[in-house]
Structure 1
Amino acid sequence: MNDAAITHLFPTLLGERFHALPAQVQALHRRVGTQHLHGEVEVVRGPGWLSRLCARATRLPPAGRGPIEVEIVANAAGERWTRRIAGHAMRSRLWADGGLLRERLGLVTFGFRLKVENDAIVWRVVQVSALGVPLPAAWFAGVSAREFGQEDRYCFDVAAALPWAGLLVRYRGWLHVD
């Protein structure tokens, strides 16, 4: 398949708002094929047994600070992200469906509505299912992501907390995007 036939996932979902984003964020989301990115990340994990169990079900990374490697494979079906942190690979698949960004992470599939706020992409959960069973989106109000540019870097800040489990994970950092 040639690159012209591939729809860019984030520009398609955000429309004209995509062009208001910082250059680093646009560059990361405009590429097709495979890209390898490197940077730094800090990961904080929740302390409770239930938060650890939920984190394991979604294959979240361990706590720590250090390098991160991200491989993004973008094609006509969507994007496949592999984040490598401290020897741990966190994989997810992203695609567009019904105006939402869908992300499958372990046993859970999220439906995010993307917005552009203050020069950043903000991900907000509007649908969730586990093993295909719909779950109340209100349970996932503590799940969010933000992508932005800072000091010529692509930056991210991702948090996941559940009402009955508390913090599952928060990871934030930056990637070099050429």
Structure 2
Amino acid sequence: MDPVARVAATTGLVLPPAIEALHVVDGETRFQGRCEVTRGPSRLARMALWLGGFPQAAPDLPVTLLIQPGPDGGCTWRRDFGGHVTQSHLSVSDDGRAVIERFGPVRLRMSLWMQDGRLHYGIDRMHVLGLPMPRWLTPRSETSECQTEAGDFGFDVSASLPLIGLLIRYRGQLRPD
């Protein structure tokens, strides 16, 4: 079970089958699908995305998600957007009620909730190089996961900053490989 499924269980969230199938993993698991990537237009957004290793904008990309459980109870998510790889590590917060995601020197604490059949992620806090960032520098997220009408796993990931606007949005569908 990955950290998202563990936090959902701890907080009493009931996940739709396609979301549960992605997060309740047993060993290395691979999903494949397609997605659209939109990037913010500002120079600051482009610089932040370059530092974070995020993909370029594209209307239709093949995407592969490889989930690899780690010895610490967390897991590594390796996203391949048409040959561009973005990797992060997910774990459970000390209180068991939030997901921690690390992208290199950036650590995000995210709360989860269900609304209208979708699993939503909200960024509560951000640390860079171990230093807490003020709220005005913490990205806003409108990220959610769902089960599509076809029964696939659907995702809509977005992040923006108050003074910069949109950083990135990627959305699409995945199926087990």
Name the TM-score, length of structure 2 as normaliser.
0.89
**Which deviations, in whole Å up to 9, do the C-alpha atoms of 1:41-100 show, x marking residues without a partner?**
000011111001111122111111221011001245211001001211000000001222
Q: Does 1:90 align with 2:89?
A: no
Letter in 1 for 2:105: L
Q: Percent identity?
A: 29
The aligned counterpart of 1:3 is: none
Checking the alignment, whether the CA contact within 8 Å between 2:2 and 2:75 is kept in structure 1 is: no
2:30 maps to 1:36: yes
Which residue type is aligned with residue 37 of structure 2? V
Matched residue of 1:47: which SS? coil
Number of aligned residues: 171
TM-fit CA distance, 1:141: 5.2
Structure 2 CA distance for partners of 1:121 and 1:138, relative to 1, 3 Å: farther
Q: Which of these residues, 116, 119, 123, is aligned with residue 117 of structure 2?
A: 119
Say which SS state the counterpart of residue 62 (structure 1) adopts: coil
Instruction: State yes or no: 1:58 paired with 2:52.
Output: yes
Which consecutive unaligned segments of at least 5 residues does structure 1 have? 1-6
Q: Secondary structure at the match of 2:47?
A: helix
Matched residues in 2 for 1:32 and 1:147: separation?
20
Please state how far the C-alpha of 1:139 moved relative to its aligned partner: 3.5
Counterpart-to-counterpart distance in 1, 2:5 and 2:62: 28
TM-score, length-scaled by structure 1:
0.88
Alignment match of 1:135 (pick from 130, 133, 157): 133
The corresponding residue for 1:4 is none
- Name the SS for the 2:44 alignment partner: helix
> Once superposed, what is the RMSD of the aligned Cα atoms?
1.7
Tell me, in whole angstroms, the C-alpha distance in 1 between the residues paired with 2:166 and 2:104: 18
Can you list the C-alpha shifts for 1:102-128, whole angstroms capped at 9, x where unaligned? 000132110001112222211111110
Q: Which runs of 5+ in 2 are unaligned?
A: none
Q: Residues 116, 96 of structure 1: CA spacing in aligned structure 2 closer, same or farther, 3 A cutoff?
A: same
Matches within 5 A, 1:1-178: 8-15=2-9, 17-18=12-13, 20-64=14-58, 65-77=60-72, 78-97=74-93, 98=95, 99-140=97-138, 142-150=140-148, 151-177=150-176
Which whole-Å CA distance do the structure 2 matches of 1:8 and 1:46 have between them? 30
Distance 2:136 2:98 in 1: 17
CA distance change for structure 1 residues 8 and 81 in 2, over 3 Å: closer, same or farther? closer
User: What SS does the aligned partner of 1:156 have?
Assistant: strand
1:10-35 deviations in Å (ceiling 9; x for gaps): 232112744x3221111111112101
